[in-house]
Amino acid sequence: MRNILRKEMRLSASVLSYLFILFGLMFFVPGYPVLCGAFFVALGLFQSFQTAREANDIVFSALLPVAKSDIVKGKYLFVCLIESCAFLLMALAAVLRMTVFSQSAVYRGNALMNANFFALGMACVIFGLFNSIFVGGFFKTAYKFARPFVTFIIVCFLVIFIAEALHHVPGLDKLNAFGTDDLAMQLILLAAGIFIFLLLTVLSCRRACEQFERIDL
């Protein structure tokens, strides 16, 4: 798997996938829907799929001495790697906002979602949805990606809209906790987000392996 991951990183990937990791730092931006950062990271990954398709990457991979399922796993590994890097930046920003900048007026007066552990959990959900809807959808044909990406965009912004709206619902204001307020609940929500990410990714990877096995290249 290390070789196939190296192939993904050095041959298949678009440089934009690496650059767009920096959108994880959008968790620092006040007065902006921070989860859009996760969407832009996904957009960067989409660029790699586009570049790879133009470069006939799937056929090249099929000619390498690997099982067909390893080609799928290699793509998932690469995607998860980029998402993990972005998540680390988001986590860094969130922790700084929860500690050093917890009393900052510009963040306290922010009407939009606060960058806390709940937001991090929701970013994981968005990454999981990308893996499931887009990457899984791509491997139905190993060629067509417009429909899976448009579907992902719609679902992603629906999730962002819901996440942004939730803390305005009476009784759910704790979702927008500042600093280390309601830390236990925040951590549970983050764990739930990570669990959803893992579930969506593993299930879609398994299904993608089965589908790709049946595809004629």
Partner 1 sequence: MIIAEVQDLVKKYPSFELKSISFHLESGRITGFIGRNGAGKTTTIKSMLNMIHPDSGTIRYFGRPIAGNEADIKKRIGYSTGTVSWYPRKKIRDIVNIVKRFYDTWDEAAYRKYLDLFGIDEMKTPLELSEGMKVKVNLMLALAHRSDVLILDEPTSGLDPFSRNELLEVFNELRNHGVTVFFSTHIISDIEKCADDIVYISKGRIVAATPKADFIREYSEPGESLEDTMLRLEGGAVHA
Q: Which positions touch partner 1 (CB under 8 A)?
A: 3, 6-7, 10-11, 55-57, 59-60, 62-68, 70, 213-217
Name the minimum Å distance from CB 53 to partner 1: 11
Instruction: Return the closest-CA partner of residue 90 out of 143, 160, 36.
Output: 36
Own/partner contacts of 165-174, CB < 8 Å, gap of 24 or more, are 167/113, 167/114
The smaller minimum CB distance to partner 1, of residues 55 and 88, is found at 55
The single residue listed with the structure tokens 């990183």 is 9
Name the minimum Å distance from CB 212 to partner 1: 10
Backbone angles phi, psi at 66, to 5 degrees: -135, 160
Q: Which two tokens stand for residue 123?
A: 């970013």
The smaller minimum CB distance to partner 1, of residues 65 and 171, is found at 65
Name the minimum Å distance from CB 69 to partner 1: 9
Backbone angles phi, psi at 103, to 5 degrees: -105, 5
Q: DSSP code of 22?
A: G
Residue pair 142/61 in contact (Cβ under 8 Å)? The answer is no
The smaller minimum CB distance to partner 1, of residues 78 and 87, is found at 78
Name the minimum Å distance from CB 79 to partner 1: 19
3 state DSSP class of 66: coil
Instruction: Return the closest-CA partner of residue 182 out of 93, 90, 89, 116.
Output: 116
Name the minimum Å distance from CB 18 to partner 1: 16
The smaller minimum CB distance to partner 1, of residues 90 and 142, is found at 142
Residue 152, C-beta contacts closer than 8 angstroms, at least 6 positions apart = 42, 129, 130, 133, 134, 137
The smaller minimum CB distance to partner 1, of residues 19 and 64, is found at 64
The smaller minimum CB distance to partner 1, of residues 59 and 88, is found at 59
Name the minimum Å distance from CB 62 to partner 1: 5
